[in-house]
Structure 1
Amino acid sequence: MVNLVVETKNGKVEGFEVDGMYKWFGIPYAKPPVEELRFKRSVPCDNWNGIKHAGEFGNRPYQFATMGGIGKDMKTVPESEDCLYLNVWAPKQAKKSPVFVWIYGGANTVGEGSDPHYFGESFTKDDIIYVNFNYRVGPLGFYNFSIYDDSFDSNCAVSDMINALKWVKENIEVFGGDPDNITIAGESAGGTAVYSMLSAPSAKGLFNKAIAQSGLAGNISTPKTQQLNIGLFIEQMNMKKEELNKLKTMPIEKMYSAAEYVYQKNCDSYPGILIAGPVIDDLIPMKPWEAMANGSAEGVDVIFGTCHDEGSLFYNMKMFPRNWDQVEKMLALSGCSEKLEGLKRLYKGKSKKKAMMELGRDRAFWADYIKCIQAQCTHGKTYAYRFDFVTVLLKLMGLNATHGSDVGPALDIYVGALDKFTPKKRIDRIHKYMHGAWVNFAKNGVPNGTLPMLWEPYTDEKRTTFIFNNKCSIEYNPGHEAFEVWKDIKIYD
């Protein structure tokens, strides 16, 4: 049995007990990225003497957008550059327990480990140790200013993720965890983070299994996408490229409006562009599907998937193209105008709104997810899914199985607003199926056990895809028509 006071490699931490489980919050895993470390990759934290009380969440990262309930309008813990902390939930009797590490989403712009939607009690009830951690977002974490000034580092947020996973690998045993049975998982930007970790040579060996929910593998971009987004940021800051050094010492608050402008308005200038994210550099040397095809994640078992209606939310938020004129501009700016007729044929017969929702889904999520799953399926057991379950409220809103609607079922977190009006037995059932699959996968690398039918691994021959819904099913090679059209289209690349 683990004690509440445990000795990590940096020093002792004291947790607390709630309802028969142990928790340690606000454990530092890296030095505060402040002063000369602003815009630098994170480095491991210093050792400390005595016992550090781990009873409260650490500061959350600076948030660079408001997102209706998350981001800057969520009142949880203080924002600070000093934010590189992680949290551990553990069964009281943990001993060589499987470890599940969650990486939050938030469009690379917001997010925090102290968000109640990402708490870990449901995993501890299944004898799994759960960890989440903060990483820097927005300009502090994802803007690659090094393309203009090499005194800035690229992929600062990616370095945070790697250091957090190194800490887990090196320390989780003293919390009762098995360092040789670690699963990483994340949704949206967190799913992109999972693809990043599967591609990064310095993350190799830090985990054994991975789950990417609605990750945007194409958001791991070449410098061109970064240049376009950063150009808008610099313009809104009324700065010149030669003045970027001023960012190192100015108050973070002065960056808010420019960063939020990029998040909300970049598609006005560049339809179909994704928000600034991880960049290809020495940490991530190539696109995820290229890296995995070359064996970057050899031996890692994975679950990759998307939601059926990924595009509906972003269409309504005006973050995806909303008409064919914008699609034509997107293709022209990307040097592939010849692809327009093929896209029009693909979405022929659909209303403009429906066509644009599906086009955005396929561009941002579907095509690149298929590239990744095809790349990894010969290097480890690989499971594909699509989430089709729709709550009553999401259907009434016209969003259907939209982006993020699989997070609650996967983590077994009940989301009051979204679950409202839907019969509880339906919500309970989808939670049982999806959370149960994630638990079984974390324990033994196979998602089966609570599912109503066998979920087979994805192979190039069968391309088996599990469909989560009121009545689950299996499809083979779904969406292949869209993939064939999109697989060679490169947007702002």
Structure 2
Amino acid sequence: MSEPVVDIEQGTLKGCEAVDYHGGPFLKFLGIPYAEAPVGELRFKAPVPPKPWTGVRDATKEGPECPSGDMYFTYYIGNEDNCLNLNIYTKSLPKPNETKNAPVMVWVHGGAFTTGCNKADFYGPGYLMTQDIVLVAINYRLGILGFASFKDKSLDVPGNAGLKDMRLALKWVKKNIDKFGGDPDNVTIFGESAGAAAVHYLTLSPTTEGLFHKAIIQSGSALNNWSWGKNNSTEIAKCMGYKETDEKTILQRLRKESAKSIVAGQKKMKENFLPSCIRPWGPVVEPPSEHAFLTESPVQIMHRQGSRKIPMIIGYNSKEGFLFELVRRQYSGVSLPEKFELELPYELELDHEHEKTKELAEKVKKHYFGEDVCNEDNIDQVYLLKGDVNFIHGIQRMIKLQAKHSDQPVYAYRMSLMSDLNYFSTFALSKNFTWTIFVTFMSKVSPVMRNYFKHHLKNMPKKQIHGVGHADDLFHLFHTFFTPTIEKGSQEDLYIQRFVKMWTNFAKYGDPTPHDNDEILNSIKWTQFNPEEKHFLDIGHDLKMTGDVDRERMQLWDEIYETHLKI
């Protein structure tokens, strides 16, 4: 069979064939530039459309990552040349004089806005491509390179370059995706963690109108404090070792640095993961300008009108706070909560030395720990606290505000499914973390090690704590470099098919369970969320509708926010 070829606005692309995890065929076109390389004067600026090329461009190999540290192993990866690329997967191309209109799903990866990429090692398409969709996975700039934010308006570096990359990628999709068999008028954006927060930001920006039509937001929100950044020239100068304080001088020096040295400098800045502190790298509110992405805070927009009025799936995993375990193993100085004032979100603008704040902190401590001291014996309560304040309450606020303001359906879920595919929890809770890191790395460089890794995951000693950790849902949607072979008809296969069916049904119909007799989905009907009944789908070993989930813990934070949030 001849190699697939597509003509797009910039030129001709040559792709290649692939098979999904059930053996079905699909096509892939990889490393396609949607913007010019962000180098020289374009570094830190809003991206510009790519120039055309001559001849046939080879799209059979993935493009580079945007410069960062590897998500799992932290070593430097990527380069700026063609890092603003996307991968496209499609079941087939439209025939001459024919228009094939499959729904389009655009994936935005997570990674705290500092790491991650669109590569199949992490987000393999083999599960989703069992369905008739067109899947697009994008890269965007990260860390300092993606979220440098200077106050000096004359420098034209207000921030949000990474979000502007996503916006341009979606414009590229709208112009070109029909050539790959996709419907530009039926685009669903979806993402997890920082990718979910980014999807939420995309629905909040008035500059993205018409670029997508549905959204799936998994374990992240623009209402989560960690998803906000700030003007950060001072932090950049400090971590790069610059003595200068003038922003123009700092920018001039940065433009001369290699991407590798910028990523290395960024690593020197110790990130503070406490809710009471703002992170240095992330989205910001910009002053109005030609390229501005967002000029008002997400909190103000959500309370006034909600985000874009489109169908949405929004949810989270039952024990998001397992991520804390991974953080404290990877970063020195991260310890169990002692001063509970530091667990109160900074957006509440509380004075930590004020007696009322200390009383509030004590109330939070008692809610999670009673009269006990926070220690390793009640670590599960730490995970609940960290998950609630960093993820779940912000996500539930988003769900409620969106349902209040939008006339379009909001489908809410909580994943409680504990299966052998929950690799992130297993990874985070391993009792021999160093050995797990080594075996994971070896499975990446040596296919022979993958079977050993599967055996290691199942049998290694780990903390026996109930719940589903941050990012565990990903392994039910994407194949990774360490995923073992999934046997057709196995329990894991069923779990994958359920996730894939609901997500792709939503992309096709705007309804994740449109068919009453779908046996894979237990013939469940996913009821829309409304502010009165607060319907959630519990995604466990079975699918079932449930009521106001995590109500008792959320009531505490609702009361705190009602009393202290200034909007």
Structure 1 pair 49/332, CA: closer, same or farther in 2 (3 Å)? closer
Structure 1 pair 81/278, CA: closer, same or farther in 2 (3 Å)? farther
Q: Shift of residue 73 of structure 1?
A: 6.5
Question: What amino acid is the match of 1:164?
Answer: A
Find the counterpart in structure 1 of residue 447 from structure 2.
none
Find the counterpart in structure 2 of residue 397 from structure 1.
462
CA deviations 1:423-466 (Å, max 9, x no partner) are: 98332232122121101111111111442222101101111111
Find the counterpart in structure 2 of residue 305 from structure 1.
315
Q: Shift of residue 93 of structure 1?
A: 5.4
Q: Secondary structure at the match of 1:390?
A: coil
Say yes or no: does 1:241 pair with 2:245: yes
Find the counterpart in structure 1 of residue 441 from structure 2.
none
Structure 1 pair 492/249, CA: closer, same or farther in 2 (3 Å)? farther
Contact 2:26–2:129 under 8 Å retained in 1: yes
Say yes or no: does 1:438 pair with 2:503: yes
Contact 2:144–2:236 under 8 Å retained in 1: no
- Of the candidates 529, 533, 541, which is equivalent to residue 470 of structure 1? 541
Say yes or no: does 1:341 pair with 2:362: yes
Find the counterpart in structure 1 of residue 230 from structure 2.
226
Contact 1:199–1:291 under 8 Å retained in 2: yes
Gaps of 5+ in 2: 20-24, 95-99, 287-291, 430-460
Q: Secondary structure at the match of 1:42?
A: coil
After superposing the two structures, state which structure 1 stretch, 92-101 or 189-198, moved more: 92-101
How far apart in 2 are the matches of 1:336 and 1:315? Answer: 28
Find the counterpart in structure 1 of residue 341 from structure 2.
328
Find the counterpart in structure 2 of residue 365 from structure 1.
391
What is the TM-score when the length of structure 1 is the normalising length?
0.87
After superposing the two structures, state which structure 1 stretch, 329-338 or 16-25, moved more: 329-338
Say yes or no: does 1:179 pair with 2:184: yes
Question: What amino acid is the match of 2:80?
Answer: S
Q: Secondary structure at the match of 1:241?
A: coil
Find the counterpart in structure 1 of residue 436 from structure 2.
none
How far apart in 1 are the matches of 2:276 and 2:198? Answer: 24
How far apart in 1 are the matches of 2:487 and 2:89? Answer: 30
Q: Shift of residue 133 of structure 1?
A: 1.1
Find the counterpart in structure 1 of residue 88 from structure 2.
88
How far apart in 2 are the matches of 1:390 and 1:230? Answer: 43
Q: Secondary structure at the match of 1:217?
A: coil
How far apart in 1 are the matches of 2:303 and 2:261? Answer: 42
Find the counterpart in structure 2 of residue 129 from structure 1.
134
Q: Shift of residue 407 of structure 1?
A: 0.5
Say yes or no: does 1:484 pair with 2:549: no
Say yes or no: does 1:284 pair with 2:294: yes
How far apart in 2 are the matches of 1:427 and 1:147? Answer: 53
* Percent identity of paired positions between Structure 1 and Structure 2: 28
Mapping 1:41-80, distance limit 5 Å: 41-63=46-68, 65-69=69-73, 72=75, 78-80=78-80
After superposing the two structures, state which structure 1 stretch, 335-344 or 201-210, moved more: 335-344
Aligned residues: 481
Gaps of 5+ in 1: none
Q: Shift of residue 201 of structure 1?
A: 0.8
Q: Shift of residue 478 of structure 1?
A: 1.3
Q: Shift of residue 471 of structure 1?
A: 2.8
What is the TM-score when the length of structure 2 is the normalising length?
0.76
- Of the candidates 253, 258, 263, which is equivalent to residue 260 of structure 2? 253
RMSD between aligned residues: 3.3
How far apart in 1 are the matches of 2:277 and 2:542? Answer: 34
Q: Shift of residue 391 of structure 1?
A: 3.4
Question: What amino acid is the match of 2:250?
Answer: L
Contact 1:321–1:327 under 8 Å retained in 2: no
CA deviations 1:31-80 (Å, max 9, x no partner) are: 111000001111111233333222221221101x34435x5367xxx533
CA deviations 1:324-369 (Å, max 9, x no partner) are: 4343245497525423133123213375423322221111111111
Q: Secondary structure at the match of 1:145?
A: coil
Runs of 4+ deviating beyond 6 Å: 220-223, 419-424, 490-493
How far apart in 1 are the matches of 2:507 and 2:10? Answer: 27
Structure 1 pair 341/422, CA: closer, same or farther in 2 (3 Å)? farther
